Structure 1
Amino acid sequence: MSFRRGVVRQSKFRHVFAQAWKAEHCLDDVRVSRVTWDSPLSAVNPKFLAVIVEAGGGGAFLVVPIGKSGRIDQSCPMVCGHAAPVLDIQWSPHDDNIIASASEDCTVKVWQIPEGGLTAPMTEAVVTLEGHSKRVGILAWHPTAFNILLTAGCDNVILVWNVGTGELVYQLADAHPDLIYSVSWNKNGSAVCTVCKDKALRVIDPRRGVVLKVREKVHEGTRPMRAVFLSDGKILTTGFSRMSERQLALWDTKDLSEPMAEQEMDTSNGVLLPFYDPDTNMVYLLGKGDCTIRYFEVTDESPYVHFLSLYSSKEPQRGAGFLSKRGVDVNKCEIARFYKLHERKVEPISMTVPRKSDLFQGDLYPDTAGLEPALLADEWIAGQDAPPLLVSLSGGYAAPPSKHRETVRSKPRLASQDSGSAAPAAPKEAEDEEPRAAARETGGNTERPKREDDILNELLSEMKALRAVVLAQSQRIELLERQLARIEDGDV
């Protein structure tokens, strides 16, 4: 599609609004880890927030219920079973109580957090994975297969584990000649993309141990890079130019000869950590040591990566946790939430799309990956692939309090959007009570224009409600058409 100057690109995410939560909702006195490793240092799911913290005599991380706020007492129980600092933590996508941790002690441990959180320090892991010869800095759970965990260490080796049995199932020892910076699974978990200190982007089939694609010098600079697989199979990378400018690039895996899009941003030193939301196709970039969060929308139309906005605050971030979509507040049209790490504080930041309607906004919330895995570990190991099993977020929607509706006489009372139908109208006697009262006060002359305004307001409200329903159904139809197209193309 040709881009005409002066035409504003249509997108429901053009006005995403970022706002930090009030001080009383933050966590205080959290001694965030000072390790120099470029990981987010935090992980969050709908139940728990985990933060890697400073700990004497070993590695520890804090796990608290997501609703907790206020000061964290120094005696607060932690997960503290590692013999050296923890470098990365990741929640299982298929069990909100399971978290993996990678450490400088060359081990990976998997922990089961009790319902409600820790009541005593946790030192015993469910399973300890030993196979790396140097510190382990990268964890990546398989997106659709239960209990499959990928780890990458400073020994330049990638290992794939079956956490359920504790056994090593695949090893890639000679794919990377230098330090691995990041690893990301594709949507169905059939391949991973990696970036390495040799500046190359690789697409790898971990089961066959085969490097499928290589692109040398994705970014010319010498500082660390990151890569993330997008849901349509493209890859987004962040890195540095030869002049140390921070860059963002989009790559088509069918042809890695040139980037589809490339943007230069600034000359800051902080590594850009990309957080990707496959439901909205938005990418959030957080620079370690920055005070900003940039966000972009990736589309099929040139220039493909569209800058949306920038959130800026006074204090720099040490890292951040990105809440899985199942945890956002759909009543407030929240599409993403970060838990920004300060030196001694954790501050939630909400990304919302301003909407006036009280209805569930189905167009903002397409079905998202649920807890149910699509495959068992053995099925994936045997060669099967499957896309994520999706769930609707409409269940997380709570209708506004009825008294709020009652106070606005001109609004029709509607059932939830799922039913798509209006609730029975109020009895005619109640409807006519107001004009009759007015007639008594004015000696019998009712104000007809006002009555007509009420009818007009009701019609407008009904039209808005119907429009929201139509938008949600259109989104659903579009999703089904895409799935049908994939089936016809043999991708499923």
Structure 2
Amino acid sequence: MGRFTASKYKNGSPKKLNKEETAFGIRISELCQNDPIACGVDKVVFTGEAASLGVLDVGEVHMTRFHPVAANLVLIADHTHLRLYDISTQKQLYSEERSCSTVSWSYDGSLACAASKSGEVSILDIRKRNAIATATLFDSGKDVNHEWLGVDKLVLAGYKNRDRVFQSVDMSNLSSVISTLRLGAGSGVPHVKYDHDTRMLFLYAKGDHGFTYCEVGNEGTIKENSKEHCNDVIKGITLAPKSTLNVMAGEV
């Protein structure tokens, strides 16, 4: 008989803030399907109603992602193109005609992932200006969100047969799924956040009243650990830098 081993994440439930530590009445944009919030060391920025935040004039931007190593490089996705800019020189370094609504960098910044509302997911080598893998994995016509699990695996969030689905894949074979978790039917676009340091994965959908957190195995397997209920509707989640946290107060 196999011996049961308790997960090291069993006490990983987040500590809720007091009312004095919480900002209320902030009006978040209802039009943005992607995460409208981001957290820095001492600032939190968000997309507000009837307002936008940006430094580059590229039209309607779906998503921007800074390079994880080169702080001056930013990848931008819009309706018609995928572009790479150097904001220190204000020059465009790369442009490709590609309709994509979400983009992400691999952990070391060597590759990028781009996904469209048609459900197509592509792994891109920006330096060589080509796609090294492409597959159609979802079928809803809504955004496909994704995060890299290191340098060769990803977790993707989208719709399949009206269900909100999270699945991990290896970039060498996007069509071969390693793990799958289903969130059930719903209109809120599914999202994912991954903490590389603790290998904790946070799954949620806009408009829901909670989120699920999981742990990721060495082979990209996803194990569900707990669900956290929230009284308010979730519109976006971001991970705070470790330097803002009292990491010794937790058990993870």
- Specify the TM-score bucket, using the shorter chain as the normaliser: over 0.9
> Shift in Å at residue 224 of structure 1?
2.1
Kindly indicate which of the two structures has a greater share of residues assigned to strand.
2
Q: Does the 8 Å CA contact 1:172/1:206 hold for their aligned counterparts?
A: no
Aligned to 1:19: 15
Q: Does the 8 Å CA contact 2:40/2:240 hold for their aligned counterparts?
A: yes
Q: Deviations over 1:177-205 (max 9, x none)?
A: x4x22111011111101111221110001
Aligned to 2:65: 140
> Does the alignment pair 1:229 with 2:148?
yes
Question: Structure 1 residues 144, 54: closer, same or farther in 2, change over 3 A?
Answer: same
Letter paired with 1:297: E
Moved more, 227-236 or 159-168: 227-236
Q: Percent identity?
A: 21
1: CA distance between counterparts of 2:222 and 2:145? 16
Letter paired with 2:116: C
Q: Does the 8 Å CA contact 1:15/1:308 hold for their aligned counterparts?
A: no
Match of 1:45 among 40, 47, 67: 40
For the aligned residue pairs, the C-alpha RMSD in angstroms reads: 1.9
Question: Structure 1 residues 266, 8: closer, same or farther in 2, change over 3 A?
Answer: farther
Q: Does the 8 Å CA contact 1:230/1:236 hold for their aligned counterparts?
A: yes
Letter paired with 1:247: V
2: CA distance between counterparts of 1:330 and 1:162? 34
Count of equivalent residues: 252
Q: Does the 8 Å CA contact 1:151/1:160 hold for their aligned counterparts?
A: yes
2: CA distance between counterparts of 1:212 and 1:324? 32
> Shift in Å at residue 10 of structure 1?
4.4
> Does the alignment pair 1:170 with 2:94?
yes
> Shift in Å at residue 208 of structure 1?
2.1
> Shift in Å at residue 282 of structure 1?
1.2
What TM-score, normalized by structure 2, do the two folds share?
0.92
> Shift in Å at residue 232 of structure 1?
4.3
Q: Does the 8 Å CA contact 1:150/1:160 hold for their aligned counterparts?
A: yes
Question: Which 5+ residue runs of structure 1 have no aligned equivalent?
Answer: 60-85, 87-100, 102-107, 110-128, 334-352, 354-363, 365-492
Aligned to 1:219: 138
Aligned to 1:313: 230
Aligned to 1:199: 119
2: CA distance between counterparts of 1:277 and 1:290? 21
The 3-state SS of whatever aligns with 1:20 is: coil
Q: Deviations over 1:273-332 (max 9, x none)?
A: 111100111111121111011111110368x10001010022211223321222221131
The 3-state SS of whatever aligns with 1:331 is: helix
> Does the alignment pair 1:295 with 2:213?
yes
1: CA distance between counterparts of 2:39 and 2:72? 18
Q: Does the 8 Å CA contact 2:147/2:156 hold for their aligned counterparts?
A: yes
Letter paired with 2:228: Y
> Shift in Å at residue 7 of structure 1?
4.4
2: CA distance between counterparts of 1:241 and 1:7? 36
> Does the alignment pair 1:279 with 2:204?
no
Letter paired with 1:140: R
Q: How does 1:323-402 map to 2 (within 5 A)?
A: 323-333=240-250, 353=251, 364=252
Letter paired with 1:195: A
Q: Does the 8 Å CA contact 1:41/1:321 hold for their aligned counterparts?
A: no
